[in-house]
Amino acid sequence: MNFYEHYYSLFVYRENNRIMKRKNIFIATIISIFMLPLLSNAQEEIIIIETFRKNAPERFDAPKTPSFTLVSKSGKYAMGIGGYVKGTVSMDFNGAINNAAYFTTSAIPVNPLPGNDKLLQYNVNQSNLSFNFVSLADKKSKFGAYINMNFSGNNYTPYIEDAYITYGGLLMGRTTSIFTDAAAIPPTIDSEGPNGLTYKTNTVINYRSYWGERKRFSTGVGLEMPSTDFTVSDEQSVTNQFIPDFPSYIQYAWGKNNSSHIRLSSIIRNVNYRNNVQDKNNIISTYACQLSGLLNVKDKLIFYYQLAYGTGITTYIQDVSGLKLDFMPRYVNDHNDKDAGKLEHVKSMAYYAGLQYNFNPRTFMSCTFSQVDIDVPDNYEDTNLYKEGYYLATNFFWYAMPNVQVGAEYLYGRRVDQNDEWGQANRLQVMLQYNF
């Protein structure tokens, strides 16, 4: 909930209580008569706000409740247009990453060229525009649609982050993988976030269900587009993928408005490749699990956490996605060996822990530490392949006005290679963001 939504609902709540506590019944009745249209409209707006929120992604940086809303003449549908303009200024020192938006620790240079340990960068390409279309019908199977884009393409061209439709618990389209616990992502100015975050934007078909007392239990399953993020030699070839990834989770929530939760997730992958030595297609199967969640202590202190472990999931880990580390070629001396031409699993471990303290509804600060560790086969040790990465973020956010947010952040990152050589980077950045 942003600052405006929080105080709007708080206003309605306080006005109701103020009237109810009047000793003079006559005065309270007169006030109630004049306040009734306002409170009725406020209640309708809160219902629309909540419907928009449920239809939007759970990520911290995803626009949820737009300032501009169009309601159909029948009152059954609503479309919101919103987003934000986000500008940052950053200074890297004692090591630099040449990317103003994403502080990716795997991109930290090891043995950088002399004189390149400082870098000043400006960025506005993480500004965002979203369209949120919802059905206001009082039915369990409401439908909606959501489109969200930033401008991180070449020359600030739009880049679609989310584009999906929903019907009840069913979602189809492009959005964050259901393997990601989006509600448990700690807030950062850095658009990358913790390097150990299991995060992947993908084309998905997933289904979520809520059940039990106050809908404290929830489950989710998905069919997601497979990807080929692995290394091959002359003995293997990348082939077309035809088996989707299968992520799933079960979650338990508690506290006021189910503000705390714990989630256990898993993902099964079956990746297809061509074994050129044996002249046949092989399927290599992987499995990973994850524990994540957040603990909300009286709306003042929030603890975020995640621990993921498994094989063949580097494509789902922020820091190492795209490094082709899901699988590595298995080297054998004899081509007649039964293992000749096969790929070998790469084990991955990723975690983060973060604390957020809310001074008041307008001001909060947070601190997050994260690590990624990659266990490659023995024959790849002592190379310049990625081994592990560390990430530290501490920041401060303040709503100077209901729609204006400013922030400051310090980031530290470190990359270590298999040969134990390493590089580091430090960043100070400030942010000005206008939400609309």
| Residue 42 confidence (pLDDT) | 63
190/428 Cα distance (integer angstroms): 10
| Residue 423 backbone dihedrals phi, psi, to 5 degrees | -140, 160
Contacts of residue 276, Cβ cutoff 8 Å, sequence gap at least 6: 234, 235, 236, 237, 341
Q: Which residue has the tokens 């991180």?
A: 152
Please, which residues bridge with residue 391 across strands?
370, 413
Between 25-39, 100-114, 252-266, 413-427, the lowest mean confidence (pLDDT) is in 25-39
Cα–Cα distance, 267 to 181 (Å, whole number):
13
Asked if 248 and 288 touch (Cβ cutoff 8 Å), the reply is no
In the prediction, which pLDDT does 378 show? 86
pLDDT, position 15? 37
- Give the other-Cβ count within 10 Å of 167's Cβ: 13
Residue range 386-424, pLDDT digits in tens: 999 999 999 999 999 989 999 999 999 999 999 999 999
- In whole angstroms, give the CA distance from residue 96 to residue 117: 5
Task: Provide DSSP, 413-432.
Answer: EEEEETTS-EEEEEEEEEEE
The pLDDT assigned to 325 comes to: 96
Q: What is the pLDDT of residues 37-60, one digit of tens each?
A: 544 566 677 778 888 998 999 998
User: What values do phi and psi take at 156, rounded to 5?
Assistant: 65, 30
Over residues 183-192, the mean pLDDT reads 96
As beta bridge partners, residue 408 has 396, 430
What does the pLDDT read at residue 276? 93
pLDDT, position 376: 92
- The alpha carbon of residue 415 and the mean position of all alpha carbons in its chain are separated, in whole angstroms, by 22
Q: Residues of the chain with pLDDT > 70: what percent?
A: 89
| Mean pLDDT score across all residues of the chain | 89
Q: Which of 26-35, 58-67, 308-317, 408-417 has the lowest mean pLDDT?
A: 26-35
Which are the contacts of 253, defined by CB distance < 8 A and separation ≥ 6? 215, 216, 217, 218, 259, 260, 261
pLDDT in the model for residue 255: 93
> Which DSSP helix (H) or strand (E) runs through 55?
helix 25-55
Q: What angle do CA 367, 64, 427 make, to 5 degrees?
A: 30
Q: What pLDDT, in 10s, does the model give residues 321-350? A: 999 999 999 887 777 777 889 999 999 999
Residues 6+ apart with CB under 8 A from 399: 2, 3, 361, 362, 363, 405
Q: How confident is the model at residue 90 (pLDDT cuts 50, 70, 90)?
A: very high
Global pTM value: 0.87
Phi and psi of 381, rounded to 5°? -70, 155
Question: Strand 301-311 vs strand 128-135: parallel, antiparallel, or unpaired?
Answer: unpaired
Higher pLDDT, 24 or 289: 289
Give me the mean pLDDT over the 246-255 stretch: 97
How far apart CA 50 and CA 65 sit, in angstroms, is 8
Q: Binning pLDDT at 50, 70 and 90, where does residue 382 land?
A: confident
Residue type at 365? Answer: M
* pLDDT bucket at 3, cuts 50 / 70 / 90: very low
- From 26-35, 78-87, 222-231, 352-361, the region with the lowest mean pLDDT: 26-35
- pLDDT of 41: 62
What pLDDT is recorded for position 395?
98
Q: Are 116 and 108 in contact (CB under 8 A)?
A: no
Q: How far apart are the first and last CA of the chain?
A: 14
Is residue 72 very low, low, confident or very high in pLDDT (cuts 50, 70, 90)? confident
pLDDT digits (tens, 9 = 90+) for 123-170: 999 999 999 999 987 766 689 999 999 999 888 999 999 999 999 899
Residue that wins the pLDDT comparison between 358 and 20: 358
The per-residue b/e assignment along 10-27, b for 16 or more CB within 10 angstroms, e otherwise, is eebeebeeeeeeeeeeee
pLDDT band, very low/low/confident/very high, at 18 (cuts 50, 70, 90): very low
pLDDT tens for 95-116 read: 999 999 999 999 999 988 899 9
> What pLDDT is stored for residue 30 in this prediction?
47
- For the beta carbon of residue 375, count every other beta carbon within 10 angstroms: 14
- Summarize the confidence of residues 169-195 as an average pLDDT: 96
- pLDDT value at position 333? 75
Would you call 267 exposed, middle or buried from its count of C-beta atoms within 10 A (0-12, 13-18, 19+)? buried
